[in-house]
Structure 1
Amino acid sequence: MKRTVIIGSNTKTTSYAFLAATRLKNNGHEFFPVGISEGKVLGKKILNIHDMPVIEDVDTVTLYINPTRQVEWYDYILSLKPKRIIFNPGTENQELKNKAEAQGIICEEACTLVMLSVGNF
């Protein structure tokens, strides 16, 4: 089970972040929805990113916010001390990747949904 923080979570059931939460749950992974939206994702309250919620023992951060919006959250994302960051399509960010890799964090430009589908998450 990989504790996964989903940054960019929202309540729209058709969003990729919501679909990722669904697949993570179905595959037995614990997920933490983090975003600016209020509400719940599969019964879990969306944690407000502005509060910079502390989440311990994070394996993976999967990003669903574009690179421009990521900038103000670099310190927060890195403070989670994940083992890896997944940059989903449209979230690729060389600056954040460099900062993360300098701290020993594995960075993957991949699709969380595909990774879960083919069993290499």
Structure 2
Amino acid sequence: MRVVVLGASDKPSRTSYEAVEMLMEYKHEISGPVDTVTVYLNKDRSWPLREAIKALQPRRVIFNPGSESEDLSAFLQEAGIEVTDFCTLLLLKYGTF
């Protein structure tokens, strides 16, 4: 499964860094056609990227805690993209990603 981490950080203390590490550990790919976009940006930073996210045509977008955006969620759902507010790390840890 190919995943894009929107807001990925190169700082080991950041949750998005841990998510990238876990995604690779669980053998998820980080390039190619996209199945999932997992968002770590706040709504003010993610909203301007709405068309780019839509253009990726992901199956789903996961809004991690603190990144939730009603406007972006509605925009993506209108485009036929599944959206959920949840923690990517927990989905990975519990095998439900």
TM-score normalized with structure 1 length: 0.77
- In structure 2, the residue matched to 1:11 is 10
Query: For 1:79, which of 55, 59, 62 is the aligned residue?
Result: 55
Query: For 1:103, which of 74, 79, 84 is the aligned residue?
Result: 79
2:61 is paired with a residue of what secondary structure? Answer: strand
Q: Number of matched residues?
A: 97
- Residues of 2 paired with 1:69 and 1:20: CA distance? 19
- In structure 2, the residue matched to 1:22 is 21
2:89 is paired with a residue of what secondary structure? Answer: helix
By percentage of residues, which structure has more strand?
1
- Residues of 2 paired with 1:90 and 1:10: CA distance? 15
C-alpha RMSD over aligned residues: 1.0
By percentage of residues, which structure has more helix?
2
After TM superposition, give the deviation of residue 75 of structure 1 in Å. Answer: 0.8
1:31 is paired with a residue of what secondary structure? Answer: coil
After TM superposition, give the deviation of residue 92 of structure 1 in Å. Answer: 0.6
With CA pairs under 8 Å and 6+ residues apart, which has the higher RCO, 1 or 2?
2
After TM superposition, give the deviation of residue 104 of structure 1 in Å. Answer: 1.1
Question: Which is greater in Rg?
Answer: 1
1:115 is paired with a residue of what secondary structure? Answer: helix
- In structure 2, the residue matched to 1:39 is none
1:12 is paired with a residue of what secondary structure? Answer: coil
Q: Which runs of 5+ in 1 are unaligned?
A: 33-55
Q: Which runs of 5+ in 2 are unaligned?
A: none
The one-character-per-residue Cα deviations of 1:45-71 (angstroms, maximum 9, x if unpaired) are xxxxxxxxxxx4200000010001112
Asked whether 1:93 is paired with 2:69, we answer yes
* Identity percentage of aligned residues: 36
